[in-house]
């Protein structure tokens, strides 16, 4: 009996230690993409994302208009006007990592000097939206969409889909094809019917390249930062990012209204 009690006590202690160890060594709040043969990690939780931002502020997703107030936008994935025929985003908000947004602001500053500006079709795209696109696109677009587990730079917040407009009117300039035209006509180097389209395509490429973006050769509209290393795949929804923005601006307002605001510590 005593032996039994002892062993029971030992079991309780062991169970407690196991529980404590599981809490301490709980896997980080990330998940491995559900794809055979790959080990793509995707940041999915607010806690993991906040840690990422603390560790490297360049990774923080910021609203693009906060750095580029005169940027134009036509976010097709927030409407039914896209290849899936339904809205995939809750609204037309645009987010990029801080470093990408800062570089894009320099592109816009250069273009502005010539009376031109960027119009964005897409920027940061949550990983789960890429999964949805992949699942729902069917065979028709299979040759043009990359499997999500390969990791899109849109999921890293370092890619944009863009064309050019005149400022301040917002009049669109001609380009070789419509956005998301999944045909060889959209490739860089393809001949264009419109005489100005090829030069606009080249003008956009020159402007983007001069601030660290590189093109995808099959889509004249797609640009991403040349260096993707250190930018993980993210699955933080647009709604969550919008809530975070509201929290951050409320904190800033409270700090500004604090009676100690502006009082320097000695
Ligand atoms: Zn793109």
Render pLDDT for 167-197 as a digit per residue (tens, 0 to 9): 999 999 999 999 999 899 999 999 988 889 9
Q: What is the CATH number of the domain that holds 97?
A: 3.30.1380.10
Single pTM value for the model: 0.82
Longest dimension (CA), the chain: 95
**In contact, 158 and 224? CB cutoff 8 Å:** yes
Instruction: Give, to the nearest 10 degrees, the angle between helix 197-209 and helix 98-112.
Output: 130
Query: What does the block give as tokens for 40?
Result: 């793509």
Instruction: Report the percentage of the chain scoring pLDDT > 70.
Output: 82
The rounded Å distance from CA 189 to ligand 1 centre is 18
Q: What is the pLDDT of residue 39?
A: 58
Structural domain boundaries enclosing 125: 30-237
pLDDT tens-digit series, residues 114-141:
999 999 999 999 999 999 998 888 767 7
- Average pLDDT score over residue span 154-177: 97
Q: What is the pLDDT of residue 23?
A: 38
Say if residue 168 is preceded by a cis peptide, omega within 30 of 0. Answer: yes
- Name which residue leads in pLDDT, 40 or 14: 40
In a domain, 130, yes or no: yes
Task: State how far the Cα of 253 lies from the Cα of 256, in Å rounded to an integer.
Answer: 5
pLDDT band at 112 (very low <50, low <70, confident <90, very high): very high
The rounded Å distance from CA 123 to ligand 1 centre is 7
Task: State how far the Cα of 197 lies from the Cα of 258, in Å rounded to an integer.
Answer: 54
In a domain, 262, yes or no: no
In a domain, 6, yes or no: no
The DSSP H or E segment spanning 255 is helix 238-257
The rounded Å distance from CA 60 to ligand 1 centre is 20
In a domain, 7, yes or no: no
**In contact, 157 and 61? CB cutoff 8 Å:** yes
In a domain, 158, yes or no: yes
In a domain, 53, yes or no: yes
In a domain, 10, yes or no: no
**In contact, 96 and 236? CB cutoff 8 Å:** no
Domain count for the chain, please give it: 1
The rounded Å distance from CA 186 to ligand 1 centre is 12
In a domain, 260, yes or no: no
């Amino acid at each position: 009996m005593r032996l039994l009690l002892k062993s029971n006590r030992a079991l309780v202690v062991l169970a407690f230690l196991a529980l404590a160890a599981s809490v301490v060594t709980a896997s980080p709040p990330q998940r491995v993409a559900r794809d055979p043969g790959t080990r793509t990690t995707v940041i999915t939780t607010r806690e993991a994302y906040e840690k990422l931002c603390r560790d490297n502020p360049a990774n923080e997703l910021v609203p693009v208009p906060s750095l580029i107030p005169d940027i134009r936008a036509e976010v097709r994935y927030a409407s039914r006007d896209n290849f899936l025929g339904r809205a995939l985003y809750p609204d037309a908000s645009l987010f990029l990592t801080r470093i990408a947004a800062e570089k894009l602001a320099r592109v816009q500053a250069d273009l502005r000097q010539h009376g031109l500006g960027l119009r964005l079709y897409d920027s940061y795209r949550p990983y789960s939206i890429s999964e949805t696109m992949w699942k729902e696109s069917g065979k028709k677009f299979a040759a043009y969409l990359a499997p999500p587990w390969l990791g899109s730079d849109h999921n890293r917040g370092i890619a944009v889909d863009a064309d050019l407009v005149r400022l301040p009117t917002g009049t669109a300039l001609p380009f070789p094809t419509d956005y998301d035209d999944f045909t060889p006509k959209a490739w860089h180097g393809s001949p264009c019917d419109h005489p100005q389209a090829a030069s606009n395509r080249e003008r956009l490429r020159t402007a983007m390249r001069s601030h660290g973006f590189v093109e995808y050769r099959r889509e004249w509209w797609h640009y991403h930062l040349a260096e993707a290393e250190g930018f993980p795949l993210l699955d933080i929804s647009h709604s969550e990012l919008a809530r975070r923005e509201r929290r951050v601006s409320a904190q800033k307002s409270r700090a500004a209204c604090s009676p100690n605001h502006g009082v320097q510590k000695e």
